[in-house]
């Protein structure tokens, strides 16, 4: 019985955390796997696929909102400076807020731990989808300490908003994390 409860605890520690900052973050805080910049009249965004998650820095006028989704925020050297909120991404969550008076942010997150068979099928499906649509993808191979990971970002760039759908898969725990975020400039401000 003890071994089973320890295994469950080990598997549950791999969850992701959502951090929201009211400032930009330095790239040296992360191991960046892929990047993209978006520039529109109403906003600019830097999007990083990082080891174990992603970062989106969205700036409109003088205001910035940064979404960070990582699996171990304490180990990454992130500080509390400019930190607006920290939200564990356990189960299903929805969060909405206004940042700086002119940026509306909405996100839904869904974390699922799957059986090995279902996890393998889901991973294959997401890899195929990402290749077909030429999406931003980052893979981290397994090491003696951790299992392999796969992260995919599906980015839709609109004139006043950015839509980002993410998939983060962790082989070691068969954990799949899906997010859908909308970051938009509130018109008329």
The span from the CA of 57 to the CA of 22, in Å, is 9
| Burial class for 50, CB neighbours closer than 10 Å (0-12, 13-18, 19+) | buried
Largest distance between two CA atoms of the chain = 60
How many other CB atoms sit within 10 Å of the CB of residue 187?
8
42 pLDDT more than 70 = yes
Task: Mean pLDDT check: name the lowest of 7-16, 73-82, 111-120, 159-168.
Answer: 7-16
pLDDT in tens, 51-68: 889 999 999 999 999 999
The residue ranges of every structural domain in the chain are 2-185
pLDDT score at 110: 95
Chain-centre distance of CA 62, in angstroms? 24
pLDDT in tens, 128-178: 999 999 999 999 999 988 889 999 999 999 999 999 999 999 999 999 999
The model's pTM: 0.89
Closest to 142 (Cα-Cα) out of 167, 172, 112, 114: 172
- Predicted confidence band at 6 (pLDDT cuts at 50, 70, 90)? very low
């Amino acid at each position: 019985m003890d071994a089973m409860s320890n295994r469950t605890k080990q598997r549950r520690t791999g969850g992701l955390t959502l951090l929201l900052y009211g400032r930009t973050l330095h790239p040296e805080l992360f191991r960046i796997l892929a990047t993209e910049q978006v520039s529109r009249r109403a906003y600019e965004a830097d999007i990083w696929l990082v080891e174990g998650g992603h970062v989106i820095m969205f700036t409109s006028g003088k205001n910035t909102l940064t979404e960070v989704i990582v699996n171990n925020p304490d180990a990454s050297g992130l500080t509390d400076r400019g930190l607006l909120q920290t939200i564990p991404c356990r189960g299903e969550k929805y969060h909405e807020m206004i940042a700086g008076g002119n940026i509306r942010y909405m996100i839904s997150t869904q974390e699922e731990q799957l059986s090995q068979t279902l996890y393998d099928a889901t991973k294959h499906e997401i890899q195929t989808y990402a290749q077909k649509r030429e999406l931003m993808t980052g893979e981290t191979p397994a090491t003696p300490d951790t299992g392999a990971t796969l992260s995919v970002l599906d980015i839709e760039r609109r004139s006043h908003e950015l839509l980002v759908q993410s998939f983060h898969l962790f082989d070691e725990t068969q954990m799949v994390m899906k997010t859908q975020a909308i970051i938009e400039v509130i018109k008329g401000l």
